[in-house]
Structure formats: structure tokens, C-alpha cells
Structure 1
Amino acid sequence: MLVVPASAGGAYGAPTPDVTVTASPSASDTDFPVLDAAMAARLDTAIQKVMREAEVPGVTVGLWAPGKGAYVRSFGVADKATGAPMKSDFYIRIGSETKTFTVTALLELVDQGKVGLDDPISKYIDGVPNGDRIALRDLADMRSGLFNYSEDEGFFKALTSDPKRPFTPQQLLDYAFKHPIQFQPGERFDYCNTNLILLGLVVEKAGGQPLGAFLKEHVLDPAGLRHTVFPTGAEFPSPHAQGYTNQTASGKVEISTDWNPSWGWAAGAMISNLQDLRTWARVLATGTLLTPETQAERLKTPPTGIPGAGYGLGIFNVQGWIGHNGSLPGYQTLTIYLPGPQATLVVLLNTDILDGGIEPSTLFGQAVTRIVTPDHVFNLPVPVHGTPSPSPAS
């Protein structure tokens, strides 16, 4: 069980001093509420309730809507040992939100005519099981039928026995490819990190650059993201919070701050911060970097089997909120955008420990959207982030 000490700046769950709550007096033609002091108090209460119940050390929540103001607050602690408070300018490991960047890079190559969404993966990468039948679209839609390497028992043991070790993309694929295909491409939704490792390799081959370099030149810089990086190792810009996970060999809670994220590579290795993710939410949902035709294709988000949730071409649509969640041992994020009121919600927290089988990022997203958009409540009732988890035999 997590034991969260009171921070020097106030009691557990109390907002840290980097509070920003603003409201504009102007109205809009939507029913999105004004983010004034009364609304901030309601959000404070709901967020602190989730923190207590899910035993989350620290969280930052940012909510913005044109004409309605902004709500940006940090709660709890960044370091349980020192009681240092969580702050809104921290960098954070964004886990599976990396997928939104990798697939955006792929779609840029589609727009350039360098790849086709219906091309088989065998056109670019040799040795993929069923590779002549799996299209790039199937990979980006999470409907390939390939085995998820992060669910392989050998991978889990390798990662948890030496969390700072580097993995190569081929090593990750080797864990996946020793398993039979799970189903034929397109048959059903099955969230799988293997898909994104393959798409990262396609971006490298068709784009002619290492993935990190391609992302910086063609995605991050054009989007104006100055605090988002694709690390080559375990480096982690400061300031950042300590991360707490139970995805460990013993199952006990450990600090995972300096674990090497290379095991996630194109599926989950990236780092960002609150303001960059705020920008990225709108870029991603509105298709700033893509042609209108390609963005329209992206927004189709076919059903997943999860009530109210669609997924396609690297993004979720959950009850109208467009974006992605992210989870890496010790950290979770949620970055989503609601087109009608042009509202953006970003949640950053320093644990990935589930509460009753639900990801804490989902609990925060649900708590906030129940208040501000009761007709569009963000909810993912099952984990879909693809972080490693111990098999029953481990």
C-alpha cells in the first residue's frame, strides 16, 4: 500500500503553490462551464477524492476552454521521501502517448506518398508473422493480431531483473514473434505495443532518419513542442517527479524514475510536460500536421468493444474526447480534446498502480469530465496502456 506523507507545503492532496485558476467573463455558444473559483473548488474536491481513494502521491491537472478560462493545479507530492510538492512545470514520461507521435509521423509519410496505409508490413519489414496480410493500417488501428511483446513472460523477467538495461527494437519484436498470431488482421481490437515498434521501423525506413530525429524535425518542431523529447536512453530532463510502480519482480512498490524506457521505444518512450501536451492535444485532434483527407481518415476511430470508446490510427475517441492515455512504470498521463467547446484536459501523475483494476489517469479524467462535460464523461473501464505485467506463472 502506498503511504503518502504530507508535504511541507500543506496537507496531502492540498494544491501546491503553482496554482493557476482564471476565468473569462465572455460566454460561448457551448454549455461548457466557466472555470471560475466556484468551479475550481468543485474540481479540487473531486481530484483530491480520487487521490485519496487511489492512493496517488502527486498529480497535476490542466483544463482549458476558450472563453471559459483555465484550471491548472498540482496536488500532493513529487517525492514521498522528502515531501517535495508536485508542480506543473515538471517533465514526465508519457508512455503510450508516444503512439500519437509515431503514427502522426507515419501519416505524414502517407501524405508525402512515401507509404500507403494499406501496404502490407512485409513491404518494409521482413520476418513479421502473417506480414503479407497485415497492413500498416491494421497496426495503427491495433487490429493486427500480433502478440504484444510486453505481455511475454520472458520480457517481463528481463525488464524487471534489470530495469535500466537497454532494449533494441529487434529484441522487442523477438519476444512477440515467438508467439503465434492471435487472430487474422482486422478481426478485432487488441491493444498491442508490437504494432508500434513495427511502425517506428517503417518511419525510419521510409523517412530516412532515426525515429527520434524524424519526430523532432517533422512533428515536434512544426508543432512548436520545445519540451518534448524522444530519449535515446534513461535520460530524464529536470525538474521531474519520482515515479512509483508495482510493476516489479517482487510486486512491491519501487521507484522507477530512472528506468530505461527503451523497452517502449516507438510505443512508449517519450517525455513531455503539461504545456507541450496542451498544445499537442489540439494539434492531434484537429490534424494541423496532416492533410484534411488523412485527418478525416484518422478520426473514424472504429469501435473497440469498450463501451463508448473507438480507436483508430493512433488515437482514442472516448465519449467524444479525442486523444490518448499513457502509462509507463511510475507514471501515467492523459491528454484529450473535446472539439465542440475546444476544451483540452491534461492529467499527469507519478504512479501507474491500478485502483480496483482501473488506471488512475482514467479515474481523474472521469472525475473531471463528470463535472465539466456530464454528457461526455471520459471512461476506459479496462487497462489498455500495454505496460508490462507479471504473468500468472511469474
Structure 2
Amino acid sequence: MPLPRSPQVRLPLVALLAAACTAGLLYAPAQAAVVPADHGPDRALQRQLQQLTTEPGGPPGVIAVLKRGSRTEVYRAGVAETGTSRPIRTTDHMRIASTAKAYSGAVSLQLVDRGKLRLNDTIGKVLPRLPRAWHRITLRQLLNHTSGLPDFSSNEKFLELLTANPRRHFDSRRLLDFVADEPPVFRPGSRYAYSNSDNIAVALMAEAVTGRRYEDLLARLVYRPLDLRRTSLPQGYRLPEPYMHGYDVTPPNPPEDVSEAISASGVWASGGIVSTPKDMTAFVRGYAGGKLISDRTRRQQLKWVNGASEPAGPGTNKAGLALFRYDTRCGVVYGHTGNFPGYTQLIAATPDGKRSLAFSLTTQVNKTNKPELLERLRTVEENFVCALLRRP
């Protein structure tokens, strides 16, 4: 759809983006409804997806991909585009939101393995041009969101520019300039606070020590090894065809298509990647399963601190290095969540990577804009995790 011309219409889109950037906190497990065994797990899970599309503010479409070994089950409800009957397919493109942060982890941790970076390397050592007040922040603290780095995406000037032109092309490598005059919001390493600035700094570190563009590092270290053929990090607002359309769903207004409302340049390594459910499945199996990094680096990655992904994932959340641990009533999975105007994402896999879940909604759901729906979503996600972990 055309970009809304009225600032009054544009403003809700920016509010949605700002909500996606709020800091995550530790959440207690959602109250999970037990899947009725007498209806069979397939029918029960399908019914829960359908119910999500009929909830107030719910998504026009949802897709979940369960993969156990070589067996894949695809559940979907609603449509890929309102006004049509086209179902969402596993090869439809979408914005993967903050699950993109896991990809920056995949790049940086491989560089740790190769001796290009160390987890204790500081911003001052690798990126000395950045403000001196940030120089003691380490790569480890950036990856587990304990850096205290101020969040550029909450900055008043950044939001002002985005409000004026949501499709504005930002210089992705200068996004931290918006908060360059701000000190860390707390002593680095002293506590957890989710920040989009963290993964911008991670990508800049990767570029600094390799002399390669972050986009090239993604292709070389992530896309090719995991055979991700429909994954990219664009700069503009366009999505490749075919794609699942993302919507602002704010009753009583009809769903508003915001798929191409905002330029990816303003989120870059913190949330700008475009992918498909099929590619996301392949990524999380390799990444959460530890296939890209050494056992030594993996042990460092899995040192958990109290903190939730944004939005919170199923069960109780803890944060590792660009990876979250979700302790559900049925067992543990590793993964990441994300939300962006038009989309909400969860990717998760068992620690061995043999079982995985990719769960995508075509509207933004988080604790700020739709707290009740988020709790319902977390319940459904936990039921899918239980189905994933259930013995055949």
C-alpha cells in the first residue's frame, strides 16, 4: 500500500517501532493450557493458531514450522494478504525483526573462534572512534545485553526523523551517533537491559577486525554454511516477492498493511534481515544446535544471565550470548524472538539442533502494545514447544 502521507497516520507506525525497542525483563512462565489429547496434537495446535487470528488485535496470518529430524510439520491459519485467500507458505519472505540479533552472534562468535575477536575485547580497543565513555564495554556484554549502551532506537532525534519519513534511508553504520553524547545507562556488566545498540556495535566490531562489510560476513559465515538461499539484509523498504504481508491491527480500525512502511536501514544488524520460515528453520537448527562454533566458544555462549528476549519467549527466559534459553513445562529450547511493525517472530531449537520451531505472526505483539495477546501467544508457543519435544 502507499505510504501514508499524513503525520497523524505515520505516527502509530513509529510508536510500534518504539515499542519493539523497549527493554526486556525477566518474565514468569505464562499459564499454559494443556492440549487436549483426545483431539490429537495436530488438530489442537491448528485450532490454537486459528484462535490467534480471531483474537482482538490478532494477526491476519500465522505460520508455525515444526521439524523433528527429517520430518517437517507446517501449521498455518489466516492468509498471507488480506482480501485474498492465499495461504502463508514456508518460502514467503518476511521481516525477521530482532531474531536478526542471533545472526550477528553467529558472525561474531565465529570470529572469536578464528582469533579475530575475543569476548573480552572492548569497544575502546576495536572501535576507538566511538565515545570514550563506552570504551570499557566488551563484546561479551554487547552479546548478552549487559553493556548499558544507550538505545539509539529510543532516541528522540531518531524517532523524529523516522516520524517525518518512515522510509528514510539512514546510514546504518552511523546509527550509534544518535546516542554518542550519552554515557552507559548503568555500569557495564552490572545488569541486563535489552538494547538495539548492542548489535549495531557487534556488527561494527566484526567489520573492523575483518575489513569486510557486515553483509558480506553474513553471506560467508551464515548463509552459505547453512544453505540459506532466501535470506538477505536490505537497506530499503521493499520486500522480495512472494512475501507475507505484515499489518498494524488496531481495532476497531481494519488491518493496515505496513509491510513496506519502514526502511530496514534504520535497524540494520539489530533487526533488518529478511528471510523465510524455511530459511529460519535451517538457521535456528544450525545456530542453536552449536554447529557454527567450537565447543569452547559454545560453553561461553551458554553462560546465562537473568533477562528476557523482546518480546518474551515461552516459559522462563534467560540470556546467553546472542541466544536465549526458554525453560518450558516440557523442557528446554534455545532461540530468539523479535517484533517489528507488521511481524512477530520466535525461532527455537533443542540444544542438539535436531528439533526446531519457527513461529511467525503478521502483526506486531509485545508487552507494550498488546500485553494480553502476548500472554496468549506465549501460551500457544509453549504448547508448540511441548509438541516439538514430545516423543513420537
Instruction: Give the shorter-chain TM-score range.
Output: 0.7 to 0.9
**Alignment check: 8 A CA contact 2:285 2:353 kept:** no
CA positional deviation for 1:59: 0.7
Residue 346 (structure 1) aligned to one of 355, 358, 369:
358
**What pairs with 1:50-61 in structure 2 (closer than 5 Å)?**
50-53=52-55, 54-61=57-64
The 2-side partners of 1:321 and 1:312 are apart by 13
Aligned residues: 340
Which position in structure 2 is the counterpart of 1:325? 337
Which position in structure 1 is the counterpart of 2:318? 310
CA positional deviation for 1:334: 0.9
The 1-side partners of 2:52 and 2:110 are apart by 38
**Alignment check: 8 A CA contact 1:333 1:361 kept:** no
Q: Deviations over 1:103-138 (max 9, x none)?
A: 111111111111111011111222235223211111
CA positional deviation for 1:77: 1.9
Which position in structure 1 is the counterpart of 2:203? 200
> Any idea what SS the aligned residue of 2:137 has?
coil
Q: Which amino acid aligns with 1:292?
A: D
| Cα gap change, 1:216 to 1:36, in 2 (>3 Å) | farther
**What pairs with 1:243-262 in structure 2 (closer than 5 Å)?**
243-245=246-248, 254-258=256-260, 259-262=262-265
**Alignment check: 8 A CA contact 2:290 2:353 kept:** no
Residue 66 (structure 2) aligned to one of 60, 63, 67:
63
- Scaled by the length of structure 1, what TM-score is found? 0.78
**Alignment check: 8 A CA contact 1:139 1:196 kept:** yes
- Scaled by the length of structure 2, what TM-score is found? 0.79
CA positional deviation for 1:254: 3.9
| Cα gap change, 1:37 to 1:134, in 2 (>3 Å) | same
**Alignment check: 8 A CA contact 1:334 1:361 kept:** no
| Cα gap change, 1:107 to 1:254, in 2 (>3 Å) | same
CA positional deviation for 1:208: 1.6
Which position in structure 2 is the counterpart of 1:13? none
| Cα gap change, 1:309 to 1:279, in 2 (>3 Å) | same
Q: Which amino acid aligns with 1:96?
A: S
| Cα gap change, 1:371 to 1:328, in 2 (>3 Å) | closer
Which position in structure 2 is the counterpart of 1:190? 193
Q: Which amino acid aligns with 1:216?
A: A
The Cα RMSD (Å) is 3.0
Q: Which amino acid aligns with 2:182?
A: H
Residue 112 (structure 1) aligned to one of 111, 114, 125:
114
Q: Which amino acid aligns with 1:157?
A: E
CA positional deviation for 1:236: 1.7
**Alignment check: 8 A CA contact 2:339 2:365 kept:** no
| Cα gap change, 1:260 to 1:180, in 2 (>3 Å) | same
Fraction of identical pairs, as percent: 29
Which position in structure 2 is the counterpart of 1:366? 379
CA positional deviation for 1:311: 0.8
**Alignment check: 8 A CA contact 1:352 1:360 kept:** no
| Cα gap change, 1:361 to 1:268, in 2 (>3 Å) | farther
Residue 235 (structure 2) pairs with residue 232 (structure 1): yes
Q: Which has the higher contact order (CA 8 A, sep 6+)?
A: 2
| Cα gap change, 1:268 to 1:372, in 2 (>3 Å) | closer
The 1-side partners of 2:254 and 2:158 are apart by 19
Residue 144 (structure 2) aligned to one of 130, 141, 145:
141
**Alignment check: 8 A CA contact 2:98 2:339 kept:** yes
**What pairs with 1:11-50 in structure 2 (closer than 5 Å)?**
38-50=40-52
CA positional deviation for 1:282: 1.3
The 2-side partners of 1:179 and 1:135 are apart by 17
Which position in structure 2 is the counterpart of 1:217? 220
The 1-side partners of 2:106 and 2:224 are apart by 13
Q: Which amino acid aligns with 2:299?
A: A
The 2-side partners of 1:140 and 1:372 are apart by 25
The 2-side partners of 1:171 and 1:361 are apart by 33
Greater alpha carbon shift after TM alignment, 290-299 vs 300-309: 300-309
> Any idea what SS the aligned residue of 2:54 has?
helix
Which position in structure 2 is the counterpart of 1:18? none
Greater alpha carbon shift after TM alignment, 193-202 vs 127-136: 127-136
Q: Which amino acid aligns with 1:358?
A: P
> Any idea what SS the aligned residue of 1:134 has?
coil
**Alignment check: 8 A CA contact 1:331 1:352 kept:** yes
